[in-house]
A and B are shown apart, each in its own frame.
Chain A
Amino acid sequence: MAREEVGMVTSLEDAISRQTHGHPLSWLTSRQTFWVFLAAVIACVTLSLVTDTFATERNLFNVTRNFAFVGIVALGMTAVIIIGGIDLSVGSVVVLSAMVTGMTMAAGYPIYLAVPLALAASLAVGLFNGVMVAFLKVPPFVVTLGVLSVARSLAMVLSDNKMVYQFGPDHQALLTLGGGSTLGIPHPVYFLVVLALGTGYFFRWTRWGRHIFAIGGNEQAATLTGIPVRSVKISVYMFASLMAGITGVLEVGWLGGVTTNLGQSMELSVIAAAVIGGANLAGGIGTAFGAVVGAALIEVIRNSLILLGISTFWQGTFVGSFIIIAVLFDRLRVSRAND
């Protein structure tokens, strides 16, 4: 009798939880990431059908590589957005890292010294952003806007605003690192895959990941329950800068040279990628996979504009509108859920 009762209770609970969690398909379609993924696939298919330039090996190679750059930086941006912050300095960190790599190698130092130096410079920028936000409570928008200007200016000072394209003894190694490919897939894509899996793991399976979501959800609660909010915030800004730094190193290799306008206004595409991928600018929500899918969609659209012969001057209009539309979508969904 008692056992029967227990059985009934569990099956009732099961039924309730099934009802609230819903059918797997309705769960899937409720995800923004799913629709964005679908949109990217549809865009690819359409482009392959209506143009004969999209599905060429050369073009796909370029698209995937560009998408990898935006995607890697978007992983870091997603973490920052999850804690309710923003990082406008990523584009400038890309050029700073690229410039440190280039200048160090041009001075004859080996790549295994240049790359750690570039990443250390990037991390230092992230540390500065993080300390300003976490300890001095300066709004992230303000800090990172300032750093956007400072980091690019430092890259100019460092290079005397000249193009660097001779990378000393390890010249070829650097070009292979960022510009080469293995099994037909550009190297930056491998970096993206590994970093995305790593980021996804950190978000979902570590205490650090749990803590960043908690901070974005309710910073006060995170503080009260003893989460080390300030050091977690600093680590997140450092993570974002590190992703930008890695991208900087890869981009020098791809381009075979650095100029000080590298990564200019990249923060816009990156924020768009993160937001389109489901990261909520109010904090507390976002995924690594979403960042990758968002970056893919942006890059495919950007590429399609070029292939369809639309002036590149329109690109900014598209990327900007994308951010607004993605946020608008989110607003609509929230207000519908509240009805």
Chain B
Amino acid sequence: MTVLALSGVSKHFGAIQALSDVSLTLRSGEVVGLMGDNGAGKSTLVKIVAGNYPPSSGEMTIEGRNVHFSGPADARSAGIEIVYQDLALCDNLTAAANVYLGRELTKRMGPLRLLNYKAMYDRAGELFAELKSETRPRDLVRRMSGGQRQAVAIARTRLSEPKIVLMDEPTAAISVRQVAEVLNLIRRLRDHGISVVLISHRMPDVFSVCDRIVVLRRGTKVADKAVEQSSPEEVTALITGAIETA
């Protein structure tokens, strides 16, 4: 079943054409690797899906229904979670506060609605344990290592029962052991029927976990094929432009 379909999506920032006429489908439980050189438009594409920008033109459907997101909250309620490339963390807040940023839990007390610190600490702690991360919910993000920060950003995607998880270079700053953990997580998501878009520059990761590879070059989709029918060499050539399309 097709979960997400983009058709003819373009995006420009002033004079910069970040994406031109990109069409893409994502089936449930499918893991798609999105690759491309720096500035190819990968982050822009996932941010459009996550409701951060509206596309300049083109259509987006979720499970066959046309959608227009006016913000990330809309995308989340449509079942889309994202790990941002720069992680989008606030250094002055705790790990748990960052996990729940923009969807803080509250509890009623008489006429008041108070932040539910305990529930957020507890759940964040469970998520970090699940990710086998050393991150502690009450610690300030300012004092955290690169891997711990990444765990915080990834933990956000586990708060809901999403249909689609977008990961923009989730393994950029972490150790071999934690990379394996993230790849395992992606497989677990897939086994639960959740679709994943993985942006990564690490060829082995993409080839070990993805079903399909999509390559963007200067905002245009130049390849979209099953991993078995491709090879790291071909993908490299597609990214650099040594091969035009495949």
Contacts and interface: CB of A to CB of B under 8 A. Distances in A.
The secondary-structure label for the interface of chain A is helix
Interface in A265-285: 284-285
A101 B146 CA distance: 55
B101 to A, nearest CB: 4
25 contacts: A204-B115, A205-B112, A205-B114, A206-B115, A207-B104, A207-B115, A214-B90, A214-B93, A214-B97, A214-B101, A217-B90, A217-B93, A221-B84, A221-B87, A221-B90, A221-B101, A224-B84, A225-B72, A225-B101, A226-B51, A226-B71, A226-B72, A226-B76, A227-B101, A285-B92
Interface residues of A, number: 26
A17 B92 contact: no
B88 A17 contact: no
Interface in A101-158: none
Contacts of A209: 115
A218 B106 contact: no
Contacts of B138: 17, 21
A93 B138 CA distance: 39
Interface string A168-210: 0000000000000000000000000000000000001111011
A21 B90 CA distance: 19
A222 B87 CA distance: 11
Nearest to A82: B92
Interface string B82-98: 00101111111100010
B201 to A, nearest CB: 21
Contact of B90 (A20, A204, A205, A213): A213
B28 interface: no
Contact of A227 (B102, B106, B112, B136): B102
The secondary-structure label for the interface of chain B is loop
A213 B93 contact: yes
Interface of A: 13, 16-17, 20-21, 204-207, 209-210, 213-214, 216-218, 220-227, 284-285
A218 B91 contact: yes
B139 interface: yes
B73 interface: yes
Nearest to A220: B88
A40 to B, nearest CB: 26
A207 B106 contact: yes
B72 A217 contact: no
B52 interface: yes
A216 B97 CA distance: 14
B113 interface: yes
Nearest to B136: A17
A221 B101 CA distance: 9
Interface in B108-144: 112-115, 136, 138-139
